[in-house]
Amino acid sequence: MSIANAERIQLVDPRQAHATPPFKDQSPIEMPGKTSQMQPQPDHGEQSYEGSGKLKGLSALVTGSDSGIGRAVALAYAREGANVAINFLSENEDAERTAELVRDAGVKAAVLPGDLRDESFCQQLIDKTVDELGTIDLLVNNAGYQQTRDDIDDWSTETFDRIFKTNVYATFWLCRAALNRMPAGGSIINTASIQGYNPSPSLLPYSATKSALLGMTKGLAKLAIEHGVRVNAVAPGPVWTPLIPGTMPEENIENFGANTLFQRPAQPVELAPLYVWLASPAASYVTAEVFGCTGGKTPV
C-alpha cells in the first residue's frame, strides 16, 4: 500500500485527549503514594504506546519507575526493546505492576528497591543494574521528592535536606557511577521541571533542586561527552502522578493543570516519547539540552 492510500491517522483535540479538572474526592495519599488510589487513574501508555525497536537490546535504569513519569518511561523503553531496571523507594505494589508491564513486552525487568539518599546505595544500584542486565546503556534520573509549605519558617532543615538529597545528590552520585560503566553512545536523561524556571514559593526547596538539575545537566554534558555519552533533560509542567495528591493540599489538586493552555495536566504517557527519542541513536547530535513539556506554560 502506498503512503498516499494508507489509512488516515486519527487526530484528537489535545485539550480533550486526557482527563480534565476538576479532580475531586482524592483519597488521602501518603508519599510515595499509590497509583491505585488516584481518580482518575494516570495513563502510562498501557493501552496506547506502541514501540518500533528504537532501543532494541539496550539496558536502562529508570529511578522512581514504580509510578508516574518513571513508569511511563519504563513501559515505553520496554516496548522499544530495552531491558529495564526499576528503582523505587518502598511502593512494592506499584513497582511490581511496572515490572509486569516491562516483562509483558518480552524484555528483562530487574526490580531494585532502595533509598537514593544513600551514596553507597547509588553506587550499588549501578553495579546491580549491570549485574542483572549485563550493561547500563541508559540512565534516567527521574526519582524526586517535594513538599509544600506556605512560609519559609515552615521549612525544616531536615525536609530541605531530604529534597536535595533525593533530587540533586542522588542524580550526581548515579551519574558519577554510571559514567564508569556506560559505553560510548550511552545516554543520561534527567527529569527537571518548569519549577526550575518559574518557581512556586510553596515549592521552594523543590524548585531550587530543579534549577540545580538544569545546571548539572549542561555542565555534566561537557564532561560526559569525553566518554561518548550524551546528557539531556526533560522539564515537565503539571503531570498527573501520585506525587500530586501525595504532597499538595486538596484545594490545589482539584484544578491541577487548569492554568495550562490545554486546561489540563499532562498524563505520564505524553512525556515518554521525549525520553525515548533522547535515549535513541536518532538524537545522536543532541546533548546539554533541556526539552520542555509544560502545556505551553513557559519556554524552556
Residue positions annotated with a catalytic role:
206
* Structural contact between residues 245 and 33, judged by C-beta atoms closer than 8 angstroms: yes
Q: Are 194 and 292 in contact (CB under 8 A)?
A: yes
Give the integer Cα–Cα distance in Å for 128 and 121: 10
Sign of the dihedral through C-alpha 106, 181, 122, 148? negative
Give CA–CA dist 123/130, Å, rounded. Answer: 11
281 burial type by CB count under 10 A (0-12 exposed, 13-18 middle, 19+ buried): exposed
Buried b / exposed e across 24-36, counting CB within 10 Å, b at 16+? eebeebeebbbbe
Return d(Cα 133, Cα 159) in angstroms, integer: 34
Which helix (H) or strand (E) segment holds residue 234: the answer is strand 230-236
Amino acid in position 34: K
**Spatial contact of 230 and 220, defined as CB atoms under 8 Å apart:** no
d(CA 144, CA 97): 20
Distance (Å, whole) CA 229 – CA 178: 10
Count CB neighbours of 297 within 10 A: 17
